Structure 1
């Protein structure tokens, strides 16, 4: 092939014209112009496969970036080369057989020059070019034959590949490498060449694995391999002994067939053609549904993909989540993850498509079925050990309230167990925040919170949901959080974890602690990558008003105030904020038909559409953690004209553990004072608080008749329902007495009372009485030592809990406190009757 490069310029012009009539290139990452090359040193490009098409693609991209052409050669310090590139692979014949071996002659000459001339150096720039992407599989061989793969490729196959996949050509430029630095410690020329070749080979292997994944065998081979593992064999023998009265041949055969059935039920059947079809289909879907998909911090993914096994752990708000994340990863040139999907999604037709798109299915519970658990564990370990990225939702299910759910330990524990078996390749967890402006499943979520049974997934319901395609759902934001290295989390809990023997059936305390910490880190990481979009902000503002309506000028000022606060004190480094000002936010939400304008002579009034207020509470809850701490401060000052810094710190520390547990706030207790000071300074700067001139450390609320006071009070309303729930729980517990009710009883009572209070006082959000929130609060009470379970399973408490309940006077209006106290004065007979009715309703 190289002899063609010696031909005259007309041949190259013709070759370029023919090639780029078929080829469209997509440069990944930041492109060649961002490499930071030293202009005083010559550049030599490194390509993997020896094709003229690769050279022409390279030339096109570097010339477009204003870099030296690979065809112009290099010249420096008396060293001249007529071409500025070389290949790492052997020369391929027309039908793919290697015909030459050894190092590139140009690399040999450059290495000799570097070793003999102290002043000479060359910048090597590896360039990876992929012509379509697919893993190796034995099925659908005709469709996959000419896609990018790990197999060697001859010139004839490359020609067909260009014709079939030329418009999906991906180009990725690696960071420049100094040839002098690479060869500095080599004892002789042979070792120097070997090191350069090894570095380049490793680089291209890692880049190829990032894009098309590791080599995969056929699904049948995977299933049979799982059945041969020791743990699955042991589970098969145990089941045979249990069901057959002994390990007879027939009992073993039945147990083995059951294990095989489980493996087929679980395993993905990744198909690159299906992925390509899904990619085109989803491009059309996103165009129909959304105004755009905005991606933040994707460089985080490319930064860790080369050296780590990635576990994507997004929040779970919609069935759209996993489709969207895989689409984005594929769009950016990386291997899409294998996704853990609930068995309820393994529907006719749909399940097969999802399976070929990388989904593997799991049942909601493995309890009482050790064989299924053994098969699933081995399958997950196989996927991880082969280097596949994976994805699952630590919440276990979709959030119905907009808040993050408490992390479930199941998949985390299995991933950690796999890593402890084989920690040769480090694992990194990547939190992903997914934020919508309008939610596809919003109506069904409201119904479920109001008590309707959860609607089962079915093909019929999926077809019915296609009607939603006519609606506009605004923008979607996908933001990648800070990577969490599993080895670091394990070291936090147990520094000597590498020296521990393999885990048996019982799990040591350090393992359980690691899973809990990992779940907390992931939830914190998701929230730290939150995106405050226009719908989030307008929901925060309007839901704070009694009738969910505001004057246009007041609403615009409130929105600008939120933006100013979140700009002055960003929730986290990776958190993002809409660039729209207050008026633009209003116009945007009007276009989405989320808010309605009521014209009035004294100024237009904006309010939610009648059915959308509850839906918007979901959107508010997506970013409630971003304003929780300043909202708590505002809530305190809306009830107290003046507070000292010490009083603020004390009151905040009483509530903070519960807020942190519910909303996954990022600050550790020792970081709370610093965060308080930052928010106080911002609120003073905005005029929403005042600092006493003559009394240091004293802060004052604005005049009650001022706009600033109204704005501060609206901010405080964001957390007031949360504080009311806490007071309900404390009030019920103290009214019933120490050692009288258990945790489950308290949770049920709080749910009933909150439901009743919502009806009486129009909190107008079914998530106000969500049982899961009360469960989290009661768990935090026990963790903080404010309540303990006695031998009978009842909650016992002492003075500190009563003191915490009494501090509600600083944050709740008297009428709200009185309503709660009135509702919670229940005698034991009434309590038992209410619990019995709730139990009978649940069983029905």
Structure 2
């Protein structure tokens, strides 16, 4: 209608005049004669994308320079074209639409004219318009975020870009391309058209790469490859058959899944995050320390890298990428839960390299095929990747058992195609205070898990006024996938993709998950808060004399230095008094003045939170703590007997804490710890050659006693579980029922004793212990689903009983002495509670 009334020109003139009140354009090169443009021959300008702002800028600048205007007609050269402008591509924003590669109608028309008239030639003049300078020269967050990128911007984003960058706009003209010369090389109009389009696309890609860096967005560069792959096409055919839909509908669903999953890597957004995180770390933390980064530098050039960090906080996503990017390496593409794909936040994370996956997609084979193919495309193109093998954030501070979904998909992709060697890099992330600490404790105590949303994120900004100490990132020993497969699947190279269907695949994947978890723990960073929590939570009322606290944390540090867990474990540089002062500075420790010496203690709420930081490094003290327990309970004991008792408990500790030693290494390791504890006067060697604890009245005995209590809750859980099994009898309970019963009884015991930490009655820990009992053959699950066992379990219960103080033994016996009727009532109540929760969830979903 506007064109019919002749108002379109007026509207463009008004828009251009308003825009040029702000926009300033630098034309390059300064002397257009250097380009060799012949004004006596037809000229047609070529822009990569159709943006009104770019067209208006080109129109204005060509008019100022006395050049033919892009919106003028080409009729004076005998051509029918109303404008002298070609827009090479136009972004399709509808995810349901098939990607089209149709040529510009004007280019088709000009090509036909050149073929019809042998004397005609058209000069195609490529023009690149960049809104803003290179992001690395910008100082403003917004300017970085809205700098020019590969994606065609929306109208709103382009408007903001003009406001921010309009005064630094660059118009870069290039030497003309002879359409006649390109046509003379081919006999077919269609082939010439494809050639011209290809030449122009390559030209613009090179120009934009030189200005803003390479296009790393999988959403633009991989979408057609994913949809066209054999795997996805087979899934589309199955979707058509299963759901009785047409191919267009099935392919549309596949494209929706690609858009839902794929990252949209943007260098300006990465730079924006870098500046934001520089501000955040300064505001929130006392600093970020990175250890063992040389392992990345060694492998980044010739290996496909998968970073596998532990998952403690939402900060993890940002921290690892920040540490890598600021050291000059490419940010990995990060597997993130679909729950984080929130409005605004999800878009930013996607442009920072995140790709999103659903919690489960077992029943959606098309989604599974698309996701697997997307993962394979990332790996086969050599992009670094990051995912959390735990699956979710740890609520207890302990490393969670590996969930093998992503590991399995990685293995299948590598078996299918392994152009470059692949290496897993475990990474340990340690905090001194947690933003989510209060939320974690609430969830452990039974509060429903909070769903991530934009409101809760905005509310968390209040915490930016708090100080959260330092953050520690440490990279572990590399795990080479080739070597792992050679060990567990010797024929994998010959079998190729078929190896993924072999019987050895699942055990290989499980072994890899365990190796990753062990590698994470083997690169731990021991900070002052870890040591302070270990000591204070081992005291009856979480209170201790100031000097005694300083001496005990210094003792722990000395013990770790004397027997290093691995060479990659990093110890705090602070001494005992400095660690105490640091705990007060972070307002974790409270002081009570006393004439005989000040006491330091934890508030009850703070004590619960501190269990998280104790659990971060509990694995480093598991063996010395167990040795201390045995010495205090047994008195004089021979080295052989001590080792035998350690070996009886060690498999359960190894499974729960992902300890690194095999059973045949225990003798040497235990001997090293004993020598170190003798040097620290925690253990005495008697004349008969036995080991004995110090005198009860000595300071050393008190220190040994505190050391022993670090493992007490773990041993209590073990003993309580086997006690309940023995009391109930073989074949009476299913594993799920036993886990529920242990959970309830542990809750009761925590009220009777000082085990106030919610992780003491965590169902996951009981499940892990029962799984280890099954793996070792102490229990079995029969056909009816109940647990059966023999006399060996009774012997295990007796051994566990002997390492606990008499008061705790009595408390466990009292709590576990319940009748079958009471057990059934409790389990029925739990089932009813679960059913009510399901009904409420279903009603909420339907509403």
TM-score range, shorter chain: 0.7 to 0.9
2:779 to 771, 787, 793: 787
Shift of 1:653: 0.9
Q: How far is 1:216 from its partner?
A: 3.7
Deviations 1:219-241 (A, max 9, x none): 23422221101111111111111
Matched, 1:540 2:534: yes
Aligned positions, number: 643
Q: Which residue of 2 aligns with 1:765?
A: 757
Q: Deviations over 1:752-781 (max 9, x none)?
A: 111110011131100000000000000000
The 8 Å contact of residues 790 and 796 in structure 1, kept in 2 or not, is answered as: yes
Aligned partner of 2:415 in structure 1 is: 420
Instruction: Identify the residue that residue 453 of structure 1 maps to in structure 2.
Output: 448
Residues 1:730 and 2:725 aligned together: no
CA distance in 1, matches of 2:218, 2:415: 26
Check the 8 A contact 1:213/1:335 in 2, yes or no: no
> Using a 3 Å threshold, how does the CA distance of structure 1 residues 133 and 646 change in structure 2: closer, same or farther?
farther
Q: Is the 8 A contact 1:214 1:388 kept in 2?
A: no
> Are 1:259 and 2:259 matched, yes or no?
no
| Other-structure match for 1:807 | 799
Q: Distance in 2 between matches of 1:140 and 1:403?
A: 37
Please give the alpha-carbon distance, in whole angstroms, between the structure 1 residues aligned to 2:318 and 2:146.
Answer: 26
**CA 364–486 in structure 1, closer or farther in 2 if over 3 Å, else same:** same
CA drift at 1:131 = 11
Where does residue 304 of structure 1 map in the other structure?
299
Q: Structure 2 matches for 1:827-838, cutoff 5 A?
A: 827-838=819-830
Following superposition of structure 1 onto structure 2, how do residues 61-76 of structure 1 map, counting pairs within 5 Å? none
Secondary structure of the 1:430 match is: strand
The answer to whether the Cα contact below 8 Å between 1:533 and 1:577 also exists between their aligned partners in 2 is yes
* SS in structure 1 of the partner of residue 428 of structure 2: strand
- Offset at 1:496? 1.5
Cα distance in structure 2, aligned partners of 1:564 and 1:554? 15
Asked if 1:623 corresponds to 2:617, the answer is: yes
* Alignment pair present for 1:666 and 2:666: no
**Residue of structure 1 in register with 2:107 after alignment:** none
User: What is the aligned partner in structure 1 of residue 704 from structure 2?
Assistant: 712
SS of residue in 2 equivalent to 1:472: coil
Q: Taking structure 1 as reference, are residues 141 and 550 closer, same or farther at Cα in structure 2, changes over 3 Å only?
A: closer
Shift of 1:793: 1.5
* Residue 320 of structure 1: aligned partner: 315
**How far apart, in 2, do the equivalents of 1:230 and 1:446 lie?**
47
> Does the 8 Å CA contact 2:740/2:827 hold for their aligned counterparts?
yes
8 A Cα contact 2:718 2:800, kept in partner: no
Aligned to 1:388: 383
Match in the other structure for 1:143 = 148
What CA distance in whole angstroms lies between the structure 2 residues aligned with 1:668 and 1:215? 47
Q: Relative to structure 1, is the Cα distance of residues 805 and 407 closer, same or farther in structure 2, using a 3 angstrom cutoff? A: same
Aligned mate of 2:595, from 595, 601, 613: 601
Q: How does 1:339-378 map to 2 (within 5 A)?
A: 339-378=334-373
Q: Is the 8 A contact 1:243 1:251 kept in 2?
A: no
Provide closer, same or farther for how the CA distance between residues 217 and 339 of structure 1 changes in structure 2, counting only shifts above 3 A.
Answer: closer
Q: Is the 8 A contact 1:294 1:477 kept in 2?
A: yes
Measure the CA separation in 2 of the matches of 1:806 and 1:752: 23
- Measured after TM superposition, the shift of residue 274 of structure 1 is 0.6
Q: CA deviation at 1:475?
A: 0.4
Given candidates 480, 489, 507, the residue that maps to 1:485 is: 480
What whole-Å deviation, never above 9, does each CA across 1:353-410 have from its counterpart, x for those lacking one? 0000000000000121111100000000001111100000000000000000000010
| Separation (CA, whole Å) in 1 of partners of 2:527 and 2:218 | 44
Secondary structure of the 2:604 match is coil
Residue aligned with 2:222, SS: helix
| 1:747 counterpart residue number | 739
Q: Which residue in the other structure is 1:241 paired with?
A: 241
Query: Is 1:571 aligned to residue 565 of structure 2?
Result: yes
8 Å contact from structure 1 (residues 541, 559) kept in 2: yes
Q: What is the rounded CA distance, in whole Å, between the counterparts of 1:553 and 1:218 in structure 2?
A: 58
How do 1:263-302 and structure 2 match up within 5 A?
A: 263-302=258-297
1:257-294 CA-partner distances (Å, limit 9, x unpaired) = 11110110000000000100110011100100100100
Q: C-alpha separation between the residues in 2 aligned to 1:671 and 1:731?
A: 30
- Maintained 8 Å contact 2:218/2:262: no
| 1:776 is the counterpart of 2:768 | yes
Output one character per residue of 1:1-26: Cα deviation in whole Å (capped at 9) or x when no partner.
xxxxxxxxxxxxxxxxxxxxxxxxxx
Structure 1 residue 214: Cα displacement: 8.2
SS of corresponding position for 2:363:
coil
Task: Tell me, in whole angstroms, the C-alpha distance in 1 between the residues paired with 2:390 and 2:586.
Answer: 29
> Does the aligned pair in 2 maintain the 1:213–1:387 contact within 8 Å?
no
> Which residue pairs with 2:684 in the alignment?
690
1:188 is matched with: none
Distance of 1:713 and 1:594 partners within structure 2:
23
- In the TM superposition, 1:489-528 aligns within 5 A as 489-503=484-498, 507-528=501-522
Any conservation in 1 of the 2:484–2:512 contact (CA below 8 Å)? yes
What is the distance in 1 between the residues matched to 2:382 and 2:632?
Answer: 55
Alignment of 1:819-834 (within 5 A): 819-834=811-826
Cα pair distance change 1:501/1:430, threshold 3 Å: closer
Q: Report the Cα offset of residue 509 of structure 1.
A: 2.0
CA separation of 1:741 and 1:610: change in aligned 2, threshold 3 A: closer
Give the drift of 1:242: 1.0
Query: What residue ranges of structure 1 are gaps of 5+ in the alignment?
Result: 1-94, 97-129, 146-159, 165-208, 245-249
Rounded Cα–Cα distance in structure 1 between residues aligned with 2:464 and 2:496: 54
Shift of 1:647: 1.2
Q: How far has the Cα of 1:141 moved from its partner?
A: 11
**Residue 133 of structure 1, CA deviation:** 12
Deviations 1:7-56 (A, max 9, x none): xxxxxxxxxxxxxxxxxxxxxxxxxxxxxxxxxxxxxxxxxxxxxxxxxx
Instruction: Determine if contact 2:145/2:272 at 8 Å carries over to the other structure.
Output: no
**Distance in structure 2 (CA, Å) of the matches to 1:401 and 1:665:** 17
State the shift of 1:254 in Å. Answer: 1.4
Q: How far 1:218 sits from its partner (Å)?
A: 6.0
Structure 1 residues 509 and 368: CA distance shift in structure 2, 3 A: same
C-alpha distance in 2, partners of 1:502/1:590?
Answer: 57
Give 3-state SS (helix, strand or coil) of 1:812's partner.
Answer: coil
Q: TM-score, normalised by structure 1?
A: 0.74
More deviation, 808-817/746-755: 808-817
* Contact 2:135 2:271 (C-alpha < 8 Å) held by counterparts: no
How far apart in 2 are the matches of 1:217 and 1:290? 32
The aligned residue for residue 20 of structure 1 is none
Deviation of the 1:213 alpha carbon: 10
The CA deviation at 1:215 is 6.5
What is the SS of the residue equivalent to 1:478? strand
Q: CA deviation at 1:707?
A: 0.7
Preserved CA contact (<8 Å) 2:135 2:147: no
Residue number in structure 2 paired with 1:441: 436
1:473 aligns with 2:468: yes
User: Match of 1:11?
Assistant: none
8 Å Cα contact 1:385/1:422 also seen in 2: yes
What corresponds to 2:231 in structure 1?
231
Q: Is the 8 A contact 2:217 2:263 kept in 1?
A: no
Cα drift, residue 583 of structure 1: 0.5
SS in 2 for 1:723: helix
Pair 1:338 & 2:333 matched: yes
Q: What is the CA–CA distance in structure 2 between the aligned matches of 1:728 and 1:514, rounded to whole Å?
A: 33
The 1:133/1:655 distance shift into structure 2, 3 A limit, reads farther
- Identify which of 407, 411, 419 aligns with 2:402: 407
Q: Quick check: 794-803 or 506-515, which moved more?
A: 506-515
Alignment match of 1:646 (pick from 640, 645, 648): 640
